[in-house]
Amino acid sequence: MTLPQSFQVAVAFIFGCVMGSFANVLIHRLPRDESIAWPRSYCPRCGDTIPAFFNIPILAYAVLRGRCRNCRARISLRYPFVEALTGVLFVALLLHTGPSWRLLIHFFLATALIAITFIDAEHQIIPNAITYPGIALALPLAWLVPPPTLLNAGLGMTIGYGMMWSVATFYHWRTGRMGLGFGDVKLIAMLGGFLGLQTVLGILVLGSLMGLAHGMVVIALRGGGRQTQIPFGPALALAGILHLFDPDLLPRLLDSP
């Protein structure tokens, strides 16, 4: 029996909001080297444990009017934004591909990419706690739930990693400075394993163009120069999310009149 599409959309949105709440845990705790499992959610200012009711995505923020129930400290708007963003993204992925096991994999990959985007934008790090499990799971999942095929996923992981590692290593040897963090290298390996060789090559090109454009805007608005550090992870993550909807996005853009 096929469930009504409206029901599927509602479930996808709710599940997305819950996964967005989990992404918020990753965003807050991983850069601080805190466990994501323990303790329970708490107010960063007063340490008050947050009851389950006040942990309901989006709704809790509205009920509390954006403030801690105990100390009345303001809660960052990032929390409901990430929850809503993940919910909307899950709905868009569902409507684009329809229900499948591969869709579920894309849900978890999208959640990881959202967390990476916010962590790298604020702290300029991409936690190994996200990329290492992703790299470890990518090939078994490709074998169990293709596409990509296991061979394509393996090529995407190794060639993507090799290209990024070569660029990062050459730049460091040539200038004595880190142009690319090795977190970016591991992120590309993870994306290659989940999405395959052709897709990861498209992500590399499109992500590089978006990263360059972002860097130029930041330098123009804030000042700086060639040594200004610009996080590359958000551009790669956004390119990865776009390629979830269209794995052949780059060839399609190049062929367009």
Measured CA to CA in angstroms, residue 143 lies from 112, 122, 197 at distances of: 21, 35, 15
Q: How do residues 40-55 score in pLDDT, each as one tens digit?
A: 888 888 888 888 887 8
182 in Cβ contact with 138 (< 8 Å): no
Alpha helices (H) along 30-67: 59-63
Q: How do residues 80-91 score in pLDDT, each as one tens digit?
A: 999 999 999 999
134 in Cβ contact with 112 (< 8 Å): yes
- 16-20, 71-75, 253-257: which is most confident: 16-20
Q: What are the phi and psi torsion angles at 71 (to 5°)? A: -100, -5
Domain ranges, ordered by start, for the chain:
1-99, 101-257
Task: Please provide the DSSP assignment of 131-185 as one string.
Answer: HHHHHHHHHHHHHHSPSSPHHHHHHHHHHHHHHHHHHHHHHHHHHSS-SS-HHHH
Alpha helices (H) along 30-127: 59-63, 78-97, 101-123
Give pTM, 2 decimals. 0.93
State how far the Cα of 201 lies from the Cα of 192, in Å rounded to an integer.
8
Q: What are the phi and psi torsion angles at 49 (to 5°)? A: -70, 135
Q: How do residues 126-171 score in pLDDT, each as one tens digit?
A: 999 999 999 999 999 999 999 999 999 999 999 999 999 998 888 7
State how far the Cα of 64 lies from the Cα of 188, in Å rounded to an integer.
39
